[in-house]
Amino acid sequence: MLNTIYRIVIACALFGPPAAKAQTIAAKAQTIAARADQPALLDPAGVPHLSEAGRVDYQRFLLQAVPRAFALSEDGAWGWAAAIEDDPVATETRAVQNCAAWGGRSCRVYARDLDVVWPGREAPAPTAPALPLSGGIGWRVQADARFLWQGPERARGVYLWAHGRSAGGADSRGSQPQPHARAFNNAGYDVVRLDRDPATDETEAGAAWMRLALADLRARGYRRVVAAGQSRGAWNALQALDAPGRADAVIAIAPAAHGPTGSIAHGWALDDLRRVVAAARSPGTRIAIANFAGDEFDPDPDGRAAIFGALERRGAALLLLDRPAGLSGHGAGADWRFTLRYATCLLDFAEGRVRGCS
């Protein structure tokens, strides 16, 4: 199954969105409760020289993939950029240019990736563990150093990300989780990856590794455990619903396990999905699924949506984002529009504050 390889090219330098939209974004930001010990990076009020519109835009910046940079000037202009050709230097250069384009004089970088680097306010991010948290032959659970780290004693929860599987055998280990994971990380969740060796990454093996990984994270004492993934990783997360208590929430982005259009496996894809749904026995788990129009790995969009609907009776709640407008293709979960529209809502749903997303 193809892993989503994405290069989000965002270069934003706005003096602010329309007032109503700004208020909505600011209200959503309140979902993340302020903590006295939160990293300086996550405090918009701590960014000097910014107007209220700038602080709203800084919240958008905090949802972006790395490399990323937020630049500002003492006269109140700002600009940011994220993942410009996955090049940190090009990304930082673009952020400074965007700030200058809005009239900023002597624009400098305030935040780089996870660190505040503004002179006099320097605040490096804590270091994530370098060694795998757990694993075995063909798999490992690895803390992702591109996200803020707290550890099970202090974290609000843990978000486990499982990548897709490339039909061509490409190695997807180490690929960056989709940007919606930033909403969880910014709220205090540690982000870890379930990395799978493509040489042995068959569907049932991936499901077994997912179950083992979730059990290990539970044993470590995390307050909440979220199982998430894209494509085959999402399919494996749904398979882990076959017993209660493994995860408090599952977030499945474009789940699939049967190849793209033209694959002979499409002939039994719906039957396999029915079996996965019928096996689900996790009444305490909140389940979010995103399907996209034009997904070459979806043999029957209407049929799949109907099958997914049965999960409402097999979990605590179901959020089905079925072919949302303006988003298409198997990799649409990595689209910046998906992130801005749904990242905070997915967090709210996982924690039981909402049942749907507008």
106 and 169 both lie in a single domain: no
177 and 325 both lie in a single domain: yes
210 and 284 both lie in a single domain: yes
Distance CA 269, CA 262 (A): 12
Instruction: Output the pLDDT for position 286.
Output: 98
pLDDT band, residue 167 (cuts 50/70/90): confident
Listed residue (208, 231, 232, 212) closest to 220, CA to CA: 212
Using CA of residue 216, residue 180, residue 352, residue 52, what is the dihedral sign?
A: positive
Say if 60 falls within a structural domain: yes
208 and 322 both lie in a single domain: yes
Say if 9 falls within a structural domain: no
Say if 111 falls within a structural domain: yes
Among the three residues 57, 88, 116, which one is the final residue of a domain in this structure? 116
Q: What is the pLDDT of residues 116-159, one digit of tens each?
A: 999 999 999 999 999 999 999 999 999 999 999 999 999 999 99
223 and 324 both lie in a single domain: yes
Say if 55 falls within a structural domain: yes
* Contacts of the segment 103-107: beta carbons below 8 A, 24+ positions apart: 103/75, 103/77, 104/71, 104/72, 104/73, 104/75, 104/76, 104/77, 104/78, 104/79, 105/73, 105/74, 105/75, 105/77, 106/73, 106/74, 107/71, 107/72, 107/73, 107/77, 107/79
Say if 30 falls within a structural domain: no
275 and 311 both lie in a single domain: yes
CATH number of 327's domain: 3.40.50.1820
176 and 94 both lie in a single domain: no
The pTM (predicted TM-score) of the whole model is: 0.90
**Does residue 30 register a pLDDT over 60?**
no
179 and 327 both lie in a single domain: yes
69 and 155 both lie in a single domain: no
Domain residue limits at 70: 41-116
Among the three residues 81, 116, 151, which one is the final residue of a domain in this structure? 116
**Does residue 291 register a pLDDT over 60?**
yes
**Does residue 59 register a pLDDT over 60?**
yes
The total domain count for the chain is: 2
Say if 14 falls within a structural domain: no
Say if 356 falls within a structural domain: no
137 and 51 both lie in a single domain: no
* Least confident residue range of 3-12, 114-123, 159-168: 3-12
180 and 58 both lie in a single domain: no
**Does residue 339 register a pLDDT over 50?**
yes
67 and 193 both lie in a single domain: no
Say if 21 falls within a structural domain: no
**N- to C-terminal Cα separation, the chain:** 30
Contact 340, 57 (CB under 8 A): no
The share of the chain scoring above pLDDT 70, in percent, equals 90
Among the three residues 83, 116, 149, which one is the final residue of a domain in this structure? 116
